Structure 1
Amino acid sequence: MKVEITIDRERCIGSGQCVHLAPQTFDQDDRALAFLKAPPGEPDERTLRAITGCPMAAIALKVGDTTVSADELRNWVTGLRSDDPLVELIGWSSESHHELREAMAAVATTGGDPSTMVELAQAHLAEEDGAYSTITELVDAALVEAFEADRRQIVQALDALGQPEPEGDPKRHDRSAIELAAALEEHIRLEEAVLFPLALAALADREASRC
């Protein structure tokens, strides 16, 4: 799933706030209008702050066909300070991501047994089931569906690895392990860069409205 940063240059007033907050991602032309440095790369915390800090809300994040506005990203750091159970679960997911990446790297480096990666992936998906039902209440349902489709690719790769290796195709499990690692990497990347920050932003907004 493609993640893009977009700038509405007709709305931009040249305040330079985005360049100040994320100079590695944004710059200004001779009219002081913002533009993206090429390539902008994966949006990190500083870039997300720049998106939410634009005084004209001229910068947005596009995930697939869904555009995520600055308002939807705002205050996600505040959400991180919440004592809501979702924050704890996202913290667990981050630790799980680290373990998965180590297992994926081991398979990629040695081409060895993918069983550890498979076990961690299964545990990760099982734990996420509860999280996704909560996240669905906080962010756009269409966006959650896009991530659910991503999860289904992981399940398909896990199913393929669980089947006996067909005769005449001794490398089938090796290819399935590579497909699983690729699907997991995409899943982790999109969760960390988009879904979790959006959920935390929505959580922060919900808490602010209660004050």
Structure 2
Amino acid sequence: MLIPLPEPPPERFFVFSLGTSQTHTSDVRVRQPEKGTDLTLQRVRWGIRTFEPTIYYALEVGQFLPKSPRLGVSLDLTHNKAIAHVRDAVGVTGTWKGSPVSGTVPMTNYVQKLRYTNGINILSALGTYRGAGPDARFQPFVTGGPSYYILWSRNYVDGIESATDYRKAGWGWLGRTGFRYRLSTTLSLQAAVSYTDGPGEVRTAENGFLSTPLRSWHETVGVVWKL
């Protein structure tokens, strides 16, 4: 009589990564209906200041499937940052305090500060395919899935600072590719490149809103623990 072999336990893992990102230039829309403002600032550039508080980091926890060990699922938190180059001259169109505006002026004429520093928090549910089994030393992978954005921003519009709090901004997505290099049965190194795309709407003073698409490339290195 054949005795069925027990099913192998799932391969669970935790990843901690540090890195940096580059956020694409984007149009920033400022809406303050009570003041008659609906303004678009065109092609705003962004920086990051990776190691200023709070630092860029990413956390991921997941598992590979026992019957299909090249397939996995995980939950990911990427804590990104973006700081607008407000001293740049930008194109401006729309209405400011009830008057039409158009031209190229320093962004500080309207917005003196715009920082997502605590930060662009991206919560993702991911599916993964890796190109080698669990015992391989070199394991390339691709992963992706839907994301939900929770933002913390500090901004000054017309010289007035916004209240700083967390805001649920909405849905986006994340795609990632990279590799893991196994050092031991429980420890690996990971290097990855990711792309994220999501909404950047936050509140301003005077019951207003500021919105922009947040599209970023990310480069990370991390440590993987097999749980």
TM-score using structure 1 length: 0.21
Task: Report the structure number with the largest CA radius of gyration.
Answer: 2
